[in-house]
């Protein structure tokens, strides 16, 4: 699940930065958030984000 408009803005903002991050991680995080939008989802969402940050770094 993803939103092209949101993702486009994220990628453009990232590209303008001096030290951009891997755009794929932005896509993955956005996808996690859209699948877990509720307050009750926060713990699970944060765990997934942490996991992909760790994985991307590896």
Partner 1 sequence: MKITKIKLQNFGPFYDVHEIIFPSGSGVNIIHGNTGQGKTSIQRAILWCLYGKVLDRNGKEIPPTSLLNRSAFRDGNFAFAVSISFGHEGKNCVLTRKTAALVHQDRRYLHGMKSSLVENGDPVATTLSETRLKIERILPFNVSRFFFFDGEMLVKYEELLDQDSRSMRILRDSIEHILGIPYLRTARDDLYEVERKLEKELARLLRRIGGKDYDELAELYQYCCEEIERKKDLIKKLQGQIDSLEEEIATKKRRLTEIRSVQEDAIRRREIDSQIEMLETRGESEKIRLKNLNSGLYKTILSSTAKSIIDQLKLKHEKVMGKYNEKQQLLGKLKSLKHAIDAARCRFCGSILNPTKLKEFENEYKETEVKIESLTEIPEPNLVYETSARYLEKMRSQLVKSNEYGQIDEKLAEIAHKIASQKAILKQVEQKLIDVDEEEPFRLETRIRDEKEEVGRLKGEKSSVEDQLGEDFQTQSELNQKLARINREEINTLGEMIDYTKRISDVFEESIAVYRNKRRKEVESKATEIFREIRSKEDFSRLDINENFGLSIVTKSGTLLNRAEWRSAGEEQIVALALIGALNKCAKIEAPVFMDTPFARLDIAHGQRVLTYLPKMSDQVVVFVTDREFRKEDEVYLEGKIISDYSLEYRGEDEGSYIIMTSHIGGSA
User: Between 1 and 40, how does the x/- string for binding to partner 1 read (CB under 8 A)?
Assistant: --x-xx--xx-xxx--x-xxx---xx--xx--xx--xx-x
Closest distance to partner 1 from the beta carbon of 19 (Å) = 6
Nearest CA-CA partner of 9 in 33, 25, 27:
27
Torsional sign, CA 45, 50, 55, 31: positive
Which of 48, 18, 17 has its CA nearest to residue 31? Answer: 48
Q: Token digits for 38?
A: 């509720």
Q: State the residues that interact with partner 1 by CB under 8 A.
A: 3, 5-6, 9-10, 12-14, 17, 19-21, 25-26, 29-30, 33-34, 37-38, 40, 42, 45-46, 49-50, 53-54, 56-57
């Amino acid at each position: 699940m993803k939103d092209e408009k949101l993702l486009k803005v994220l990628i453009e903002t990232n590209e303008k930065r001096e030290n951009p991050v891997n755009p794929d991680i932005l896509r993955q995080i956005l996808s996690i958030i859209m699948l877990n939008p509720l307050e009750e989802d926060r713990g699970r969402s944060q765990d997934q984000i942490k996991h992909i940050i760790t994985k991307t770094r590896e």
